Structures are given as structure tokens and as C-alpha cells.
Amino acid sequence: MLKDWNKARKWQTQNANALIKAFKASSVEPCVEEIYINRSIEVLCTYEWKRTSLEKDSGEKPAIYVPGFGNRFSAPSLPHRMKEDTGTAWQDQHLYRVFQQQFEPLFQAMSVMNPGVRFNDVNVVIDFTEATGKADTDGYHRAIWYALGPITLVVRLEVDAFLDDEKREATDDLFHGYKTVSGPNHRAGIRHENATSVVLGGCYVSHAAVAELKVNRGSDEQLWAGHYRNNIVADRTTGGFGPTEDLTRKERKERGELIAKNKAEGKKGGYMTIHSAKPKDVRKECLEWDRHNGGSLQKLAGLFSGLIDAMKQVEGDKAMLREESRGGELKLYQGGEDMVDALPEEIVNIFWD
């Protein structure tokens, strides 16, 4: 089993050269600084994917709206029954649009909203993602900048919704609430080969107004990483489909039996009934999560610091970190010549001195 699992992941080291460092997660030294949620974050940019055809012969290029439209939360009439979605969707909205250099759209948006920022002192740029009301949009994202102890992070999030709260929008000092941007024919961005198209459209939404949507229970680590203030929790009952992590073994069995019954009767799957959906201020919960997980956060910062120090000892600027086996060693390899750069040179020259 383990041998087959490693074989399936062989592609991960196909562009790797020399081994730089091997270690176990248990050996990572935590940072000495205490880590707590920092409300003085900076929003660097926001953007939303423009819905385009992804067929190779369509002639359409991936495009983003900047700053994007977002999805204003509007509570549905309750109870609300939802049918099973039998379609398919990509979890990573960047992977299937920008197969390589997946942070390129973020920097395209930043060239419009924050062109003067420099990344010289940024240690880590990372995704922390799990859509929207405009007909031709598909996925609203934003990048935030904050400190994780000694590590400076830029975190990209996919935002589910925002609350219509003018008082809280006005507290953000980047755009001071909503600002309408010129129409959909105004194009911008950084030119390079295979560049994501940038269309100016939408309005800025304060980070104080954004919200995460969850069913029955929230994901505290996701709320913390995104520095969310708001969580909209939908209490629901399932009728044949839905998340299973909060179901008992008996409930999973009953759900499976109902799915089989529906199929036998020619019905399409099951349904989920939403009984309530209320926004909740989660700042207190995030502070509690701080207190209970401070040690793990310090260890994460220690991991980043160790990787940065290891990279300083080798030639080149490319590397990959791979888990050798489940629970086994972590191995840091120097990147090979064929490894694609994280970003196009044209973008690097703008955001790094």
C-alpha cells in the first residue's frame, strides 16, 4: 500500500535535484515569539475570476475582474431545501485556469490596487482556500498581509460572502469602504507571455465585512488564517447527501441507504434542508483558538524559519518540500533546471527590488 502510494507521488520529485535537508515534523523547533491573531492586517488586493470558456479552441484567455464584485449575503427564506448538485467543479479555481505560476493572477490584481508594495521582506506567500452573484464571475479572492511571529505572510483566500454593513466597511483604511471602479471595458495588468487578462470592474469590500460560510459548524483554523470577523453558520439536516464529518456511523449508514433508495426510484440523489443561517461575530472564538493552539502556530513559524535558513545555504532559488511517506520524513530538494519559476520575470522585476 505504502509503496503504491509513493509511486503515485513520484511526479513530485521529477524536477528535483540534490537533497538539501531531511527532517521529521516532530524535530521542528518552535519560534520563541508568542503568536496571536493580528487585527492590523493589510489587504493587498482583491479579484474575481471572469467566467470564460476553458476549451483550448475557444480563443478565450483566463481573465479576472479587479477588484471584483463579491457576493453580498442575503438570508434565504427558511426552511430552504437544496437538491444534490450532480455536476462537477474544480476545488482549486487557479489550477485549471493557470496550470503553472498560480500566484500570477494575484500579482496582476496587485499591480492595479497596490502597485507600490514590495515583497523584499515577505517570507511566505501561501494559499488558504477551501462564488458569486454576477452571472459571468466565478470565485472571489483576496490577499492579506500579516505577521506569524517572525514570519511575514501573504495569504490568499477565497471569500464566500460579505455582509452589507457600511459602518464596518468604513473602518478599513485601504479604500475606505466601497469604491466603484471604471467599467468592464477598461483593461489593465502586467504584460507577459500567457498573462491573465485584467478587467477593471466591481467595488472594494472591507475585510471587516467579509464572511465565511459553513454548514453546522465552523472551521476555526480557517477563520483564524483568514482573520475573519464573521462566520455564517447554516444549521441543516441531510436527506441523502452533504458533509459526513459531523455524522455518526449510524447517520452515514442511513444516508447511504436513502441514496440507494432514491436511485432505485429514479430520483436524483438526496437533498439538504437549511433551517437557519445567521452571521456571527467570531473574534472571541479566534482569540480562544489562539490560546489553545499557540504552540502549534509557533511550530509552524519555526518550520518556515528552518526552510528559509536552509535555502540560504544553497545555490539557486527553487526548491520543493515533499513528505516522504505519511507521517514520515519531510525532504527539501533543490529545484532542477526544468522547474518552472514561481512567477514570470516581468512580475518579479516589479514587486522585488
Q: 3-state DSSP call for residue 102?
A: coil
Give whichever of 45-49, 79-83, 230-234, 337-341 has the largest mean pLDDT. Answer: 45-49
> Out of 75-84, 165-174, 283-292, 300-309, which region has the weakest mean confidence (pLDDT)?
165-174
Contact 23, 330 (CB under 8 A): yes
CB under 8 Å, gap of 24 or more: what pairs does 323-326 form? Answer: 324/6, 324/22, 325/2, 325/5, 325/6, 326/2, 326/5
Longest dimension (CA), the chain: 65
> What pLDDT does residue 95 have?
53
Q: Name the strand (E) or helix (H) holding 95.
A: none
Q: Is the pLDDT of residue 260 over 80?
A: no
Q: Using one digit for the tens of pLDDT, what is the confidence trace for 183-201?
A: 444 457 898 888 888 988 8
Cα–Cα distance between 338 and 235 in angstroms, integer? Answer: 49
Strands (E), the chain: 16-23, 42-50, 63-68, 80-83, 124-127, 137-148, 151-158, 161-162, 187-188, 197-202, 210-215, 230-238, 271-281, 319-323, 330-335
CA-atom Rg of the chain in angstroms: 22
| Grid cell at residue 15 | 524536477
Q: Using one digit for the tens of pLDDT, what is the confidence trace for 127-184?
A: 876 543 444 446 889 999 999 999 999 999 989 999 985 543 333 443 433 344 444 4
Q: Using one digit for the tens of pLDDT, what is the confidence trace for 67-89?
A: 998 889 888 787 877 766 555 44
Q: Taking the alpha carbons of 190, 191, 194, 199 in that order, is the dihedral positive or negative?
A: positive
